[in-house]
Structure 1
Amino acid sequence: MSFYTSLNGMKNAQTDLGVIAHNIANAETVGFKKSRTQFADVVAGSAFSNPKLMVGIGANVESITQNFSLGPVEQTGSALDAAITGDGFFVTRSGETGETFYTRNGSFETDEGGFIQDGSGNRLQMFPTDAAGNVTSTTPQDAQVPAQNAAGSAFAGLTISSNGNISASFVDGSNEVIGKVSLASFIAPNGLRQVGSSNWQSTGISGAPKYGGPGEGLYGKLLAGSLERSNVDIGEQLVALITAQRNFQANAKAIDTATQIGQTVINLRT
């Protein structure tokens, strides 16, 4: 039995090493959130077993938990970069498939159609507003910049304020609020499914998203011209890496010891 107990221990340590390696590899990925492997002991017995003599049969991976703590904020100076200084996720939608994604990566740009999008072509979602910046609908829609204003003046630039208002400026010197950035929150963010590129999707475990504007209730304000970097602490991950490596080695040594004991029993002479 000790062979399989230690073998499971090695597999668990290998899983832990994989999670840590993934964290370290994404230490410079904007909006990335680190994960942690949680283990649970396994005990087998029956109602007739003496609880004082029960021997455990190893451990298994109970969960790989995501940590959504705030990462360091870096100032970039780009008008379309934005960091959330609290809870909430940016909402984006694929222009091709219509899939909805949630992200902490606030690095955006405009495409040839005037849509504000991330590096993967997913369009930022906003609440429509009137000219004064008052929200007119709580249903998110694609953020799109008009090529010109009502007077026929061409588009000149774009800014995002701390309350999420997206303002377009035009050649004639006028400014117009075209919408308000919509943020999403979840009752159980650890249940979000990672889909890559610092994006998540909702699941039955995370619950349905609740939408709101920056600075409203539990939603953090936006910091324009900044990005939230990965929350991975390299020093912490290197210590965890050493611990996982020692765990793997200890289980391997236990298998070696069990092999030696078995060989000794086989070689016994009467």
Structure 2
Amino acid sequence: MSFYTSLNGMKNAQTDLGVISHNIANSETHGFKRSRTEFADIVVGSTLSNPKMIKGIGARVEAITQNFALGPIEQTGSALDLTIAGPGFFTTRSPSNSNTLFTRDGSFRIDGSGFVTDGSGHRLQVFPTDVSGNTLSTTPTDAQIPATNAAGADFVGVTVNNDGNVVATYADGTGDSIGKVALANFIAPNGLKQVGSANWESTGLSGNPSYGEPGTGTLGGLLSGALERSNVDLAEELVGLITAQRNFQANAKAIDTATQLSQTVINLRT
């Protein structure tokens, strides 16, 4: 039994090492949220067992949870580099399969068709507004900047206000609102499914997204010209790495000790 108890311990330490390594590898990934491995003991006993004689048979990985604490803010000066100063997620949509994704990475750009997209081509979602910035609908839609305004003037730049209003400016000096950034929040963010590139998908565990404008309700306001860095603390991760390594070594030593005891019994002479 001690062999399998220690073997489970080694597997758990290996999982912990994998999670910590993933955190360290993404210490420079914008919008990344560190994960933590949570363990639980395993105890088995029947109704007839003496509660004073029940012993544990190891541990198991109970969950790998994410820490959604705000990361450090990095000033960039680019108008479409956005940071949520508080709870919430940017909403993006894949043009290929219409999947809705959620992210804390606010690094956006304009593609050749005028859509505001992330590095993977997913389109930022906004609430439709009139040219003055008044919200017309609470159903998110793709953010798209017209190449010219109603007067035929060419597009020259874009700004994003703290309330999420995306304003396109044109050569004639006018500015038209193209929408307000649609933020999403969840009753249980730890239930979100990681899909890579600092993106998440909603699941039954996270609940459905609750949409709103920046700075309303529990949602944070927007900062333009800044990006949220990873919330990984390298010093903390390195200490965790050493601890996980020691746990692995200790369980390996326990297996070695159990092997020696078994060999002693086998070699007994009568």
Flag whether TM exceeds 0.5 (same fold).
yes
2:162 matched to which residue of 1?
162
Q: CA offsets, 1:172-230, max 9 Å, x none?
A: 11111111000000000000000000000000000000100000010000010000000
Shift of the alpha carbon at 1:131?
A: 2.2
| TM, length-normalised to structure 2 | 0.99
Tell which deviates more after alignment, 125-134 or 103-112: 125-134
Question: How far, CA to CA, are the matches of 2:95 and 2:157 in structure 1?
Answer: 23
TM-score normalised by the chain length of structure 1: 0.99
Question: What SS does structure 2 have at the residue aligned with 1:65?
Answer: strand
Q: Equivalents in 1 of 2:244, 2:16: separation in Å?
A: 6
Determine the structure 1 residue equivalent to 2:246.
246
Q: Give the secondary-structure state (helix, strand or coil) at the position aligned to 1:79.
A: coil
TM-superposition CA deviations, 1:134-164 (whole Å, max 9, x none):
1110000000001111100010101111110
Which aligned pairs between 1:197-208 and structure 2 lie closer than 5 A? 197-208=197-208
- CA shift at 1:132, angstroms? 2.1
The aligned counterpart of 2:23 is 23
Q: How does 1:37-186 map to 2 (within 5 A)?
A: 37-186=37-186
Q: Is 1:230–2:230 an aligned residue pair?
A: yes
| Cα distance in 2 for residues equivalent to 1:49 and 1:97 | 55
In the alignment, structure 2 segments of 5+ residues that lack a partner are: none
| AA of the residue aligned to 2:207 | G
Separation of aligned partners in 2, 1:65 and 1:75: 29
CA deviation vs aligned residue, 1:111-143 (integer Å, no higher than 9, x gap) = 000000000000000001122211110000000
Q: Distance in 2 between matches of 1:87 and 1:198?
A: 16
Q: Which moved more, 1:128-137 or 1:17-26?
A: 128-137
**Which residue in the other structure is 1:32 paired with?**
32
Q: Equivalents in 2 of 1:264, 1:96: separation in Å?
A: 65
Q: Distance in 1 between the 2:180 and 2:53 partners? A: 64
Q: Give the RMSD, CA atoms, in angstroms.
A: 0.5
Number of the residue aligned with 2:194: 194
2: CA distance between counterparts of 1:6 and 1:224?
Answer: 51
Instruction: Give how far 1:268 is off.
Output: 1.2
Tell me the amino acid that sits aligned with residue 22 of structure 1.
H
SS in 2 for 1:63: strand
Runs (5+) with no aligned partner, structure 1: none
Cα deviation code 1:18-39 (max 9, x no counterpart) = 0000000000000000000000
Q: For the residues of structure 2 that align with 1:156 and 1:13, how far apart are their CA atoms?
A: 54
Aligned residues: 270
